[in-house]
């Protein structure tokens, strides 16, 4: 039996796409669904993004694109990462578009040339001859979430380098730049994390009119009273100094609730409670306000408990937590809501190997 439930609310994702599309207009919105839709399910989220107005789906690898193409035969699919020569023929057959930053430009496949204007990872620093099969020119911002001046410098370098090719599709803006750097929106924006209602700035996504797509719930599997001097968990990291009610939640780092999340807060029956002791592979402990019954609902991620808050405790970013969530069907029930905007149930592949339970239409019911 599943010990927790992950909810993916596609109605929220569609709302985020519409919000970002309105903000970016007249630029197109391209939805980034790499890393299995940032852990949310690439096929379901990709289809929902297209329903809401996205015109292209972007992934990191040819393999990711092929998984999408098997379920989504029509849309444009852009591979953002480097592609080996051995994959070009496969990409051509699957009607993929490729990004090229270094080396030879393959023929007979649509190509986007990537300029390195300051990220310093990959991409050409000098734009030479542009072959006829190049359909787009792009760059990637290093600091659009933290240092807009540096990002503006990157944009200036990109625009100067591509001025003679303004007839091609030029795209530079990620989620942060779409929200904060309007001059970078150009012909298309590539939005990833913001689609899923997660702030690229580590703040409250609602500040930018975004709604979280992912929710995660469990329940109290055990409740016990600790007397002063008694402890809970490995290493006795929590020792009671007074009579303390402790609840055990049957979720741990094997599910993606990271070991470093001691000290974060979750909601137990709607009340914020501190995670105490050591997060183990299959369970963690929370300090309760009093005795509560076994089976009391615990919200791990949702309204009042955003991923961004857990990320701050870990000293990381919410992207890492979302992509690290493991919805193993032997442990976790996965519920995908609002698959079809018309109210029917769309076909979909199982997300991340999980057994999906789907509901429609665009209901938000219980999902953050």
> What are the tokens at 159?
């625009």
**Which of 114, 234, 291, 319 is an active site residue?**
234
Say whether 234 is catalytic: yes
Catalytic residue, candidates 34, 114, 253, 319: 34
- Whether 319 is a known active-site residue: answer no
- Rounded to whole angstroms, the Cα distance separating 195 from 141 reads 18
Which residues are catalytic, by number? Answer: 34, 234
């Amino acid at each position: 039996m599943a010990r927790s439930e992950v909810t993916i609310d596609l109605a929220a994702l569609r709302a985020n796409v519409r919000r970002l599309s309105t903000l970016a207009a007249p630029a197109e919105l391209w939805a980034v669904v790499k890393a299995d839709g940032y852990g949310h399910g690439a096929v379901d989220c990709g289809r929902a993004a297209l329903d809401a107005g996205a015109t292209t789906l972007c992934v990191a690898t040819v393999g990711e694109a092929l998984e999408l193409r098997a379920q989504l035969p029509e849309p444009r699919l852009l591979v953002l990462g480097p592609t080996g020569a051995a994959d070009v023929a496969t990409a051509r057959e699957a009607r993929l578009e490729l990004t090229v930053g270094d080396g030879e430009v393959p023929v007979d496949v649509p190509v986007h040339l990537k300029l390195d204007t300051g990220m310093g990872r990959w991409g050409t620093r000098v734009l030479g001859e542009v072959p006829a099969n190049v359909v787009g020119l792009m760059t990637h911002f290093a600091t659009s979430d933290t240092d807009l001046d540096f990002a503006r410098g990157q944009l200036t370098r990109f625009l100067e380098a591509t001025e003679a090719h303004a007839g091609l599709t030029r795209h530079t803006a990620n989620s942060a730049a779409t929200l904060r750097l309007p001059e970078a929106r150009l012909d298309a924006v590539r939005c990833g994390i913001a689609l899923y209602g997660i702030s690229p700035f580590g703040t409250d996504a609602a500040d930018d009119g975004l709604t979280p797509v992912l929710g995660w719930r469990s329940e109290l599997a055990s409740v016990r009273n600790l007397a002063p001097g008694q402890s809970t968990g490995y290493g006795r990291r929590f020792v009671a100094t007074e009579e303390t009610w402790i609840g055990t939640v049957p979720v741990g780092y094997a599910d993606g609730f990271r070991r470093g999340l001691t000290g974060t807060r979750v909601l137990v029956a709607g009340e914020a409670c501190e995670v105490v002791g050591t997060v183990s592979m299959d369970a963690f402990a929370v300090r309760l306000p009093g005795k509560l019954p076994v089976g009391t609902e615990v919200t791990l991620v949702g309204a009042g408990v955003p991923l961004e808050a857990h990320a701050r405790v870990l000293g990381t970013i919410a992207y890492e937590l979302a992509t690290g969530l493991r919805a193993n069907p032997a442990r976790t029930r996965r519920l995908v809501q609002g698959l079809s905007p018309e109210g029917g149930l769309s076909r979909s592949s199982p997300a991340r190997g999980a057994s999906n339970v789907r509901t429609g239409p665009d209901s938000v019911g219980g999902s953050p």
